[in-house]
Amino acid sequence: MEEKNRNQAKRVSDSQVEVSQLMMPQHANIAGTVYGGAILSIADSAAYVCAARHAGPQCVTVSVDQVDFREPIRIGELVIFKASINYVGHTSMEVGIRIEAENLKTGQRRHTNSCYFTMVALDESGKPKAVPSLICETAVEKRRFKEGQIRREHAKELAEKRRKAGL
């Protein structure tokens, strides 16, 4: 069953998702701009949709990396989350999310955040299960796959160093 799932390769475009959300007063922090947690919550949902389209609905978030808040987002702006699977391992998937804010008065968009979610597919007993391999068709998809692979290798090296140091 695992190998069958593994063999059903899917394209990056099969799972890509774009989610838009208008920033309302309930999304504000005490400074009056948008609360980072509100952005991460929507980004997590977008990452989940990507992972579920690729590997089925039983997926969980195992890690969130490189969350950069480059500039504040204001209440009243439309925030667009573009999520795409960058890389797949055996049971895990790295979903990259590009976040843009649109000023609805001027129509101008700016890139405000990027982050990477690692999602793991689970079987009926809650154990990690193999995910379909990923077909990267464009030059950008191929570059993102290689970058995801490098991030994964760095994360494994770091975990190994911590283990050896008894941390």
Interface residues with ligand COA (CB under 6 A)? 60-63, 89-92, 118, 120, 128, 155
Selection from 3, 128, 19 nearest residue 79 by Cα: 19
Structure tokens at 14: 């099969």
Pick the closer one to ligand COA by CB: 14 or 123. 123
CA distance 3 to 13: 22
3-state secondary structure 132-152: CCEECCCHHHHHHHHHHHHHH
Closest separation between CB of residue 88 and ligand COA, Å? 7
Closest separation between CB of residue 119 and ligand COA, Å? 9
- Detail the DSSP E strand segments found in 70-143: 78-88, 92-102, 109-121, 134-135
Closest separation between CB of residue 160 and ligand COA, Å? 12
Pick the closer one to ligand COA by CB: 27 or 129. 129
Residue nearest to ligand COA (CB): 89
Helical residues (DSSP H) of the chain, grouped into ranges: 2-7, 36-55, 139-164
Closest separation between CB of residue 159 and ligand COA, Å? 7
Pick the closer one to ligand COA by CB: 6 or 98. 6
Pick the closer one to ligand COA by CB: 101 or 134. 134
